[in-house]
Structure 1
Amino acid sequence: MIALARLLVALFSRPATLAILLGVAFGYALLFLWLAGDIAGGGQGGLHLAFPAWERAFESRGVLRFEPVGLIELGPWVWTFSPLDTLIALGIGLLLGSNLAGLWLVRQAPVACTIRAPSVGGLAALPALLAGGACCAPLVVIWLGLPIAGSLAVLAPWLIPLSCLALLVGLARLAAHYGHRASRPSGGGR
């Protein structure tokens, strides 16, 4: 737990890693919401906000999918706003962004020896890279209308929880690797 706390402090205290983390988080959340159909084109221009159905916020329309409570129209875009769907998308995006920023940070950490052994830092982020596509890849297949979409629909309820678990495992592995590398003194000794 201490290694994870150190990694998160390092991620949020450095501008470069914070930019990676937030950029990936918001980019992934927008992609997720667009592929899920919450964000689409068709706006009439300008800004229009309407939130008439807050009482529906916890009504489920599927596994980890919730009813929208309002409509946000911004220029050519229309967002059927569901607060819980947005939180899920941002949560997965933050986990993915933390993993990728953590991978970058681990790769930048000093090593104690000039003779470098093969690094496992990249392998520690492998769950992040695989899980990042686990949520959106089936949505892309469904969006494209490919025949395999029917078989992926059976797996869909499991993909979000499994990808979150894989992202948490990847973050824990990166934290352990970062703590190990950061605790060693840097220098040219063997």
Structure 2
Amino acid sequence: MARRSPDKLLIGGLAVLYALLYLYAIGDLDIGRAGWSGQALDWQWQRLWASRGPWLFEAVAMLELGVLVLLISPANLVLAGLLTLLLALNLHGALALRANAQCSLSQGAASSAGLWPALVAGGACCAPSLLLVLGIPGLGAFVGLFAWLLPLSLLLLVLSRCWQRRRGAPRVLRLL
């Protein structure tokens, strides 16, 4: 059996951590009492798209997995998976470009190029709460911007990956 490279383990670990943190930040993953159970709502198609905020969707089921409580919202899971995949591809590209030394940017800038869009996506769910805690006056002026953070982060992650491909990053990430 072949050993996994440290880069693949790093990328996989960071991708899983990012997905879990994203789901926790939007409220779909939480810590509850220890138990194993599940509940589901009666099936209705319109519940899949019921919104609780910009780019946040209502759950259709709940799973208790030991101390973790996961709200199953297919749309939120798809968004989390897409962000995680793009983050992993950007990390892979940044590490590959650094290893091949084909990037004209400094190593610090090249390695963080794919991380900034992911941080913007994290701000889509956490920034309103942070602004409330900090008590910044004029919060209403910023509220309209939060709906744009997730689409902007997706766009930036895709553009970052395209830029990496033009610079010579590998096409796909081999997981095995």
Query: Structure 1 length as normaliser, TM-score?
Result: 0.71
Q: Note if 1:38 corresponds to 2:23.
A: no
SS at match of 1:165: helix
Q: Note if 1:135 corresponds to 2:112.
A: no
SS at match of 1:68: coil
Alignment partner of 1:174 out of 156, 164, 167: 164
**Which residue identity lines up with residue 146 of structure 1 in the other structure?**
L
Alignment partner of 2:73 out of 79, 82, 89: 82
More strand by share: 2
Say which structure, 1 or 2, has more relative contact order (CA 8 Å, 6+ apart).
1
Instruction: Tell me the CA shift for residue 22 of structure 1.
Output: 2.8
Q: Note if 1:19 corresponds to 2:21.
A: no
1:176/1:17 CA distance change after superposition, 3 Å:
farther
Residues 1-190 of structure 1 aligned to structure 2 (within 5 Å): 15-41=5-31, 43-55=32-44, 56-109=47-100, 119-120=104-105, 122=107, 123=109, 126-144=112-130, 145-148=133-136, 150-178=140-168
Conserved? CA contact 1:21–1:97, under 8 Å: yes
Provide the rounded CA distance (Å) in 2 between the counterparts of 1:179 and 1:134. 23
1:38/1:23 CA distance change after superposition, 3 Å:
same
Query: Structure 2 length as normaliser, TM-score?
Result: 0.76
Cα deviations across residues 15-64 of structure 1 (Å, max 9, x unaligned)? Answer: 444433332222111111111111122x2312111222442112222222
**Which residue identity lines up with residue 135 of structure 2 in the other structure?**
P
Aligned residues: 160
Provide the rounded CA distance (Å) in 2 between the counterparts of 1:128 and 1:53. 40
Conserved? CA contact 1:124–1:170, under 8 Å: no
SS at match of 1:107: helix
SS at match of 2:33: coil
What runs of 5+ residues in structure 1 fail to find an aligned partner? 1-13, 112-117, 181-190
Instruction: Tell me the CA shift for residue 179 of structure 1.
Output: 5.4
**Which residue identity lines up with residue 105 of structure 2 in the other structure?**
V
Cα deviations across residues 107-130 of structure 1 (Å, max 9, x unaligned)? Answer: 11266xxxxxx8327545654222
**Which residue identity lines up with residue 48 of structure 1 in the other structure?**
S
1:143/1:72 CA distance change after superposition, 3 Å:
farther
RMSD: 2.6
Provide the rounded CA distance (Å) in 2 between the counterparts of 1:58 and 1:18. 35
Provide the rounded CA distance (Å) in 2 between the counterparts of 1:106 and 1:54. 47
